Amino acid sequence: MSKVVIYDTTLRDGKQAEGINFSMIDMISIAKKLDEFGIDYIECGWPGALPKDKAFFQEIQKVELKHTKIAAFGSTRHAKNKVIEDNNIKELIAAKTPTVTIFGKSWDLHVRDVFNISLEENLEMILDSVSYLKDSGRELFFDAEHFFDGYKENPEYAIKVLEAAVKGGADNLVLCDTNGGTLPHQIEDIITQVKKVISIPLGIHAHNDGDLAVANSLRAILSGAVQVQGTMNGIGERTGNANLCSIIPNLILKMGYTAQHIDSVHLKKLEETSRYIYEIANMNPETKQPFVGLSAFAHKAGVHVNAVQKNPRTYEHILPELVGNRRRILISEQAGKSNILAKVQELGLEMSAEKIAELAMHIKELENTGYEFEGADASFEILVKKLTGQFKERFQVHSYKMLTFNRENVDPVVEGTVKIRVGDLEELTVAEGDGPVNALDTALKLALSVFYPVVKDIHLMDYKVRILDPSSGTAAVTRVLITFRYHSYEWGTVGVSGNIIQASWEALVESMNYILMRLEHEEDNVFHG
């Protein structure tokens, strides 16, 4: 089997995505997680351009990494500078990384219109920079920026750029589809031509502007590239970079390639790694993301569920466990008895055929009034346990209320008051919040923490409101879906009412009962401080 080198650029290209700003601690944490997963190289920023990146390279030297090589990123020398005097080159050397990746222009359009220099001067910049960095003892990767666009318009010059990097001693030439507009067959045709004149190893760096970054990366590997660059979850500038969460399992599970450090055990950490990056980036995970998304192995149609129960291959291209994901059976008014039976079995419960039929009818009735269980697995589990007499409330709500204080020239203050009962004991708590739901959520968890300290580690992740019959105006029925997280575990609950606060409260209370129920079964002494 052929080996492929996995090169992650989440901490450089990925953080150029709109809305993403990694702190120093974030960058160190991500580097450790990627190393744990088994990534070969991590490109960690541009020390010559960003002070935070420069500081990062000092800090990462204190971290012991098991698998990963750290790469510093930068450009060739400036046209007006001698290479020995160029600050960007100096900072790359000062970063003290074993690997340096520099980019140079391979599209004559950029050389003339952006750099405003001659084509020959650009070749000299590349040769000087690569040679100097290689003489410093670094492993050197050269990113041929805009290579595919450059090759399409001036193939002779694009090849000269690669030859200049080879002459300078580059260890690997990375062909970049920087604008993300190249098609897979063009990737193959161009790499085939390049390999006729370039003998050193090639890599691929694809952007996703044409929604083809993964396809282009895989086609490049099939065409002879041995290194693939990308980011976790495909985050990156504009529409993003090639998504390593799709590239890696496709290469290993379907195309017969191996990665140096990502074996079957490491591959099972893919979903976990993906979610970790989303969390650090403060982004909601993309539920429909292939391989690692929550919906990647979700089944709704009764016919599909029935078939998957008999043989997963009928509607799953791989076993979800191979990438650390899991199969999910969705419950809705479209679900047949097979869905419900499968879901009940997934929960480790037993129900008679009569109870299954009763539950199916009850679900249809609830969804007719506005409930939805697709994104509320926790509500479904509680529903099943209530129907089978296995549900026990961990607390009772005595009362709750909400007050809004409006003062001139001051933002309104919302105050929530909650009184709960656990056994013979009662607790009354008042809390302020940014809005009514936040105030009630805070007050409820404060009250519960007196009896169950573990709730301090529960965080609200998502809050969705849907008006089900807008034509009814202010009398419309509202559905609220709430997602919470406890460490790495997430769950969702649903509430429905003509009163949005009541619907939210229903989902909040059900969420707390659900996680307390789970923790009681799964963790010893969880209710002690």
pLDDT value of position 391? 85
- Does one domain contain both 197 and 247? yes
pLDDT value of position 377? 82
Evaluate if residue 6 carries a pLDDT over 70. Answer: yes
Task: Reply yes or no on whether 304 is catalytic.
Answer: yes
Q: How many CA atoms lie within 13 A of 470 on its CB side?
A: 2
Evaluate if residue 525 carries a pLDDT over 60. Answer: no
Q: Which amino acid is at 362?
A: H
E strands along 394-455, which residues?
A: 396-407, 410-422, 425-433
Pairing of strands 227-230, 298-299: unpaired
The two tokens of residue 36 are 């744990």
- Does one domain contain both 125 and 192? yes
CATH number at residue 86: 3.20.20.70
In a domain, 41, yes or no: yes
pLDDT value of position 527? 41
> Average of pLDDT values for 522-528?
46
- Does one domain contain both 185 and 244? yes
Q: Which residue has the higher pLDDT, 150 or 373?
A: 150
Evaluate if residue 488 carries a pLDDT over 50. Answer: yes
pLDDT value of position 370? 79
pLDDT bin (cut points 50, 70, 90) of residue 526 is: very low
Sign of CA dihedral 335, 341, 344, 350: positive
pLDDT value of position 232? 97
pLDDT value of position 251? 97
Evaluate if residue 210 carries a pLDDT over 90. Answer: yes
Q: For the segment 501-511, what is each residue's pLDDT rounded down to a tens digit?
A: 999 999 999 99
Domain that holds residue 518: 396-522
- Does one domain contain both 119 and 150? yes
CA distance 7 to 30: 14
Q: Angle at Cα 395 formed by Cα 394 and Cα 400, nearest 5°?
A: 150
In the predicted model, what is the mean pLDDT of the chain? 89
Q: For the segment 42-76, what is each residue's pLDDT rounded down to a tens digit?
A: 999 888 877 888 899 999 999 999 999 999 999 99
Evaluate if residue 529 carries a pLDDT over 50. Answer: no
pLDDT bin (cut points 50, 70, 90) of residue 524 is: very low
Of 345, 376, 407, the residue at which a domain comes to its end is: 376
Of 262, 287, 312, the residue at which a domain comes to its end is: 262
- Does one domain contain both 51 and 175? yes
Query: What is the DSSP code (8-state) at residue 117?
Result: S
From the list 393, 517, 398, the residue with the least C-alpha distance to 454 is 517
pLDDT value of position 246? 98
- Does one domain contain both 401 and 491? yes
Pairing of strands 328-329, 139-145: unpaired
pLDDT value of position 334? 53
Q: For the segment 258-307, what is each residue's pLDDT rounded down to a tens digit?
A: 999 999 999 999 999 998 898 888 887 898 999 999 889 888 776 777 78
In a domain, 500, yes or no: yes
> Average of pLDDT values for 378-386?
86
Q: What percent of the chain has pLDDT over 70?
A: 94
In a domain, 386, yes or no: no
Q: What residues have CB less than 8 Å from 386, skipping those under 6 apart?
A: none
Are 119 and 159 in contact, with CB atoms under 8 Å apart? Answer: no
- Does one domain contain both 162 and 305? no
Evaluate if residue 179 carries a pLDDT over 90. Answer: yes
SS3 241: strand
- Does one domain contain both 193 and 251? yes
In a domain, 101, yes or no: yes
Q: Which of 110, 304, 459, 528 is catalytic?
A: 304
The two tokens of residue 116 are 């405003």
Of 237, 262, 287, the residue at which a domain comes to its end is: 262
In a domain, 409, yes or no: yes
CA distance 131 to 253: 39
> Average of pLDDT values for 219-223?
97
Q: For the segment 113-167, what is each residue's pLDDT rounded down to a tens digit?
A: 999 999 999 999 999 999 999 999 999 999 999 999 999 999 999 999 999 999 9
Q: What residues have CB less than 8 Å from 405, skipping those under 6 apart?
A: 412, 413, 414, 415
Sign of CA dihedral 443, 448, 451, 457: negative
Q: Which residue has the higher pLDDT, 51 or 332?
A: 51
- Does one domain contain both 218 and 164? yes
Q: How many domains does the chain have?
A: 3
pLDDT value of position 267? 96
Query: What is the DSSP code (8-state) at residue 78?
Result: P
In a domain, 273, yes or no: no
pLDDT bin (cut points 50, 70, 90) of residue 471 is: low
